[in-house]
Amino acid sequence: MSESWVNSAERIGSDLLLDLAGPGSRRAVLIRALRRAVREGRLAPGTRLPPYRSLAANLGLARNTVADAYAELVAEGWLTARQGSGTRVARRAAPVASSRVPRKVPHRPAGPVHDLRQGRPDTGSFPRTAWSAAARRALNAAPNDAFGPGDPQGRTELRRALADYLGRSRGVRTTPERIVICSGFAHALRLLSGCGILRGRLAVESYGLGFHRSLLDAASVRTLPLTLDGDGARVGELAGLSGVRAVLLTPAHQFPTGGPLGPERRSAVVDWARGRDGLVLEDDYDGEFRYDRDPVGAVQGLDPDRVMYAGSVSKSLSPAVRLGWLVLPERLVAPVLAAKGEREAWASVPDQLTLAELITSGQYDRHVRRMRRNYRDRRDRLVAALAERAPHIVPTGIAAGLHAVLRLPPGTEQSVLKAAAWQGLALDGLDDFRHPDATDRAPDGLVVGYAAPADHAFAAAVEALCRALPPAP
């Protein structure tokens, strides 16, 4: 006889009573309801939940909605899933006794409850279905030599796809022969410093990632800061820096302060490179994501022989996909390849083929457009919450990327960071990104990464942020 679903500690029927009222997507509401059922003890530890199809039919939801909700709760530790055992309530997910008296003494959470740190995309939005379908198509079509030792320059399929994509979306002027695949921008810095293209003294923006400065310092490359204003780096200062023949910039969206490099300065830095026989390294870390207008084209398009262009999928797809690219002047391809070695040791060839298929099929463009809408909505919600709860806190920079800078009253940055930590909120202060030799200092501020929290957790993260902000003077 076939086994039926019954309400018990072992299995639960598909007629499980769940309250699906409240704001948010159907997926978010279902996740919230399942968590509540576990906390209240209506779903005991070890209880086996109905299959996706059964629960979806009973609740009038799409099967994928239930599947995604289960996957999210498995990732959070509320549920477990094993082949042949189904999806169960985790043994450690014991309900909280209703008679428990709340603690009256405030205490700091053991770890971050909310994550608003910069540089983190929405991992839940990774295009799993499109990626897996592209992987199947790519591997089925791949020639046998794709499974041998990897070419250090990267697979031709990916370099051709990137040459087309970067040309039409970012205004990059290149051919596949001038592209070298790497595992991300940090790897690009190691390659460029390892082969001597970046050496001696390198001009950088006065605010940026300390991790990148540390990599350069380890390669005996001394970084000299250029001051910043509303038009980006003051590239006119390059003329006064002796021995400097290269500069690292984030022209589309200065990291982290948020402004673009002004049109006159874009031309000026290219003219400087031509006159000094120098180079510009353009870090286009989030150039696809601009919300108030079409993205500005890459500086590389002004002079492909003087500008090296670097990008990756760490913001558009996921930092777990270790793929990036360098678009180089023709004369620099050989030394970079010599620094990589005879075989590809960093970038997975199957991943390269998959990304190439994702781009050529149009799925990558569709994903970027979808994430552009999602991140624009996240930013709008953040700005609206600030306008309502803390109108004296002003977001600065352009509407772009995965982070926003919030200007704070003078002398409050460190106290706000401490208050955020007490709220269980992981957050970056603007001063953490300042070059130690910088002569300029930006006003106190927060670098708020609005992409990282899951959709269902975003409102709570913004609420925690608002509670940590200082009151109006």
Give one word for 195, left, alpha or beta, with left for phi > 0 and alpha for psi -120 to 50: alpha
5-9, 13-17, 394-398: least confident range? 5-9
Asked if the model's pLDDT at residue 362 lies above 90, the reply is: yes
Which amino acid appears at position 95 of this protein? Answer: P
Looking at the fold, whether 294 and 333 belong to one and the same domain comes out as: yes
Q: Are 343 and 149 in contact (CB under 8 A)?
A: yes
Q: What DSSP state is assigned to residue 89?
A: E
Q: How many C-beta atoms surround the C-beta of residue 33 within 10 A?
A: 18
Looking at residue 96, its pLDDT comes to 47
Asked if the model's pLDDT at residue 262 lies above 50, the reply is: yes
Looking at the fold, whether 178 and 236 belong to one and the same domain comes out as: yes
Q: Do the domain assignments include residue 109?
A: no
Q: Do the domain assignments include residue 382?
A: yes
Looking at residue 248, its pLDDT comes to 98
- Cα 140-346-343 angle, rounded to 5 deg: 80
Which amino acid appears at position 58 of this protein? Answer: N
- Kindly list the distances between the CA atom of residue 249 and the CA atoms of 104, 210, 282, 331, 436, in Å, as whole numbers in the listed order: 50, 14, 5, 21, 17
Looking at the fold, whether 150 and 161 belong to one and the same domain comes out as: yes
Looking at the fold, whether 314 and 425 belong to one and the same domain comes out as: no
- The band of 4, judged by pLDDT with boundaries at 50, 70 and 90, is very low
Nearest to 427 by CA among 459, 392, 464: 464
Average per-residue pLDDT in the chain?
89
326, 347, 362 - which closes a domain: 362
Looking at the fold, whether 121 and 137 belong to one and the same domain comes out as: no
Q: Do the domain assignments include residue 107?
A: no
Looking at the fold, whether 322 and 182 belong to one and the same domain comes out as: yes
Count up the domains in the chain and report the number.
Answer: 3
What does the alpha-carbon distance between residue 28 and residue 333 come to, in Å, rounded to a whole number? 48
We report the CATH number of the domain holding residue 11 as 1.10.10.10
Looking at residue 234, its pLDDT comes to 97
Q: For the chain, state the CA radius of gyration.
A: 25
Looking at the fold, whether 119 and 156 belong to one and the same domain comes out as: no
Q: What DSSP state is assigned to residue 207?
A: B
- The band of 16, judged by pLDDT with boundaries at 50, 70 and 90, is low
Looking at the fold, whether 407 and 453 belong to one and the same domain comes out as: yes
Q: Tokens in use for 191?
A: 């390659």
Q: Do the domain assignments include residue 473?
A: no
Looking at the fold, whether 73 and 27 belong to one and the same domain comes out as: yes
Q: Tokens in use for 403?
A: 């982070």
Q: Do the domain assignments include residue 319?
A: yes
Looking at the fold, whether 145 and 67 belong to one and the same domain comes out as: no
Q: Are 166 and 207 in contact (CB under 8 A)?
A: no
Looking at the fold, whether 138 and 254 belong to one and the same domain comes out as: yes
We report the CATH number of the domain holding residue 462 as 3.90.1150.10
Domain that holds residue 152: 128-362
Nearest to 303 by CA among 261, 262, 272: 272
Nearest to 41 by CA among 80, 94, 89: 94
**Mean pLDDT, rounded, for 230-242:** 95
We report the CATH number of the domain holding residue 133 as 3.40.640.10
What does the alpha-carbon distance between residue 71 and residue 78 come to, in Å, rounded to a whole number? 10
Q: Do the domain assignments include residue 357?
A: yes
Q: Do the domain assignments include residue 141?
A: yes
- The band of 8, judged by pLDDT with boundaries at 50, 70 and 90, is very low
Q: Tokens in use for 263?
A: 């049109």
362, 386, 413 - which closes a domain: 362
- The band of 271, judged by pLDDT with boundaries at 50, 70 and 90, is very high
Segment 154-173, tens digit of pLDDT: 999 999 999 999 999 999 99
Q: Where are the beta strands (DSSP E) in 31-148?
A: 79-82, 86-89, 114-115
Q: Are 251 and 232 in contact (CB under 8 A)?
A: yes
- The band of 78, judged by pLDDT with boundaries at 50, 70 and 90, is confident
Q: How many C-beta atoms surround the C-beta of residue 50 within 10 A?
A: 21
Q: How many C-beta atoms surround the C-beta of residue 257 within 10 A?
A: 23
Highest mean pLDDT (candidates 10-24, 109-123, 270-284, 447-461)? 270-284
Q: Are 16 and 55 in contact (CB under 8 A)?
A: yes
Asked if the model's pLDDT at residue 13 lies above 50, the reply is: no
Looking at residue 71, its pLDDT comes to 82
Q: Do the domain assignments include residue 8?
A: yes
- Kindly list the distances between the CA atom of residue 213 and the CA atoms of 106, 314, 435, in Å, as whole numbers in the listed order: 39, 19, 9
**Mean pLDDT, rounded, for 88-114:** 59
Looking at the fold, whether 353 and 394 belong to one and the same domain comes out as: no
Looking at residue 201, its pLDDT comes to 97
What does the alpha-carbon distance between residue 87 and residue 82 come to, in Å, rounded to a whole number? 7
Higher pLDDT pick, 79 / 231: 231
Looking at residue 10, its pLDDT comes to 39
**Mean pLDDT, rounded, for 71-87:** 80
68, 102, 136 - which closes a domain: 102
